[in-house]
């Protein structure tokens, strides 16, 4: 890349006005992953509860950790299935360059 070329941000850096809807394929993948992951997490929590009752003190942490993971995955599923996809804001490169130049002069 030549020095005079303008920097172009990657495609995954988007403006806030650009909100593409979720595709049916993405929704299907989200649904399948949720319906596989949540039962697995609940089963793992139940399994760790049995281990904790038999005297494994460290399993008490996992007893509550696995259902927490299931809750987080449900939260993310709801957010992503509604199309609320987190966006990385486009940086203001001119302001950052001016700020850097101002700090160098001091």
Which pLDDT tens digit goes with each residue over 5-19? 666 666 656 555 555
What angle do the packed helices 59-81 and 24-53 form, to 10 degrees?
170
Q: Is 44 helix (H, G, I), strand (E, B) or coil?
A: helix
Q: What does the pLDDT read at residue 20?
A: 65
Secondary structure element (H or E) that encloses residue 10, with its range: none
Residue 45 tokens read as 């929590």
Q: What does the pLDDT read at residue 81?
A: 86
DSSP-derived letter for residue 56 is -
Q: What is the C-alpha separation between 24 and 27, in angstroms, rounded?
A: 5
Task: Decide: residue 41, CB within 10 A, 0-12 exposed, 13-18 middle, 19+ buried.
Answer: buried
Q: N- to C-terminal Cα distance for the chain?
A: 31
Q: What does the pLDDT read at residue 18?
A: 56
Q: Is the pLDDT of residue 2 over 70?
A: no
Q: Is the pLDDT of residue 35 over 90?
A: yes
Average pLDDT, the chain: 82
Q: Is the pLDDT of residue 27 over 50?
A: yes
Position 1 confidence tier, pLDDT thresholds 50, 70, 90 = very low
Q: What does the pLDDT read at residue 26?
A: 87
């Amino acid at each position: 890349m030549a020095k005079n070329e303008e920097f172009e941000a990657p495609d995954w850096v988007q403006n806030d006005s650009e909100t593409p809807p979720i595709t049916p394929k993405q929704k299907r993948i989200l649904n399948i992953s949720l319906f596989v992951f949540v039962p697995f997490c609940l089963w793992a929590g139940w399994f760790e509860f049995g281990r904790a009752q038999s005297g494994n003190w460290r399993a008490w942490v996992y007893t509550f950790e696995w259902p927490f993971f299931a809750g987080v995955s449900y939260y993310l599923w709801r957010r992503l299935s509604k199309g609320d996809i987190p966006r990385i804001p486009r940086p203001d490169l001119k302001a950052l360059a001016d700020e850097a130049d101002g700090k160098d002069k001091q």
